[in-house]
Amino acid sequence: MKQLENQIAVVTGAGRGIGRAIALKFAAEGADVVCVSRTAENSEKAAAEIRALGRKAWAHAVDVSDAAAVSAAAEKILSECGKVDILVNNAGVTRDGLLMRMSDVDWDAVLNTNLKGAFLFTKAFARAFLKQRSGRIINVASIIGLIGNAGQANYAASKAGLIGFTQSVAKELGSRNITVNALAPGFIETDMTAALGADMKTELLKKIPLNSLGQPDDIAHAALFLAGPGARYVTGQVLTVDGGMVM
């Protein structure tokens, strides 16, 4: 039997990169998946890939920072699917810049998507998890939330906040058999890191003991562990998947 047979997962930011990899990994392990992305095109593309694997998939275009939109989407998802077993808060953006030059707009855009979005989606499904007395919540943070990074004060703050959020919610929901954990990816080869120049990548590799950038599938495997039966007794934890960069 596959690890996630007969389960339904909601994955935000499922249209590309890490979110897409997680959605596909879950589907390969038997889950039906709700693909949430900012655009209908990206969410539907991911859903089509999951249907091609023989699983059910639903596509929802949602601005995760919009409370009304998230509430409406959650209500529709629960109506369509009947239940949700796993929530992956993965949606994220960057608006990099040095602190002295960072605009309020760029600060708010990152905090609202990366942190507020996770809060809104978790809150929207918490009642259903509590009622069924089970659930897995996985928040995709970042090693930048652990160590910071020049030019990413907004991103670091959002991801550090997500770690604190994870631990607090884990304590609130644990008595109802709901686990809440965070993943902290290192430098993963996605659209976000594609803009890095060759020299910067070379310098990065010097800081990574495994001497390579990660792949989205590396994060998907870790998410599968946290969603699967092997992590029944794991909650409030931050799992770094970074090639040894932070140790």
Give the residue numbers annotated as catalytic, written as ranges. 155
Q: Cα(163)–Cα(89) distance, rounded to whole angstroms?
A: 12
Give the burial class of 130: count Cβ atoms within 10 A of its Cβ; 0-12 exposed, 13-18 middle, 19 or more buried.
middle
Contact 100, 144 (CB under 8 A): no
Full strand arrangement of the beta sheet holding 8-12: 57-61, 32-37, 8-12, 86-89, 135-140, 178-185, 238-241
Contact 51, 27 (CB under 8 A): no
Residue in 1, 10, 16 with CA at minimum distance from that of residue 57: 10
Residue in 29, 32, 11 with CA at minimum distance from that of residue 20: 11
Q: Cα(19)–Cα(173) distance, rounded to whole angstroms?
A: 24
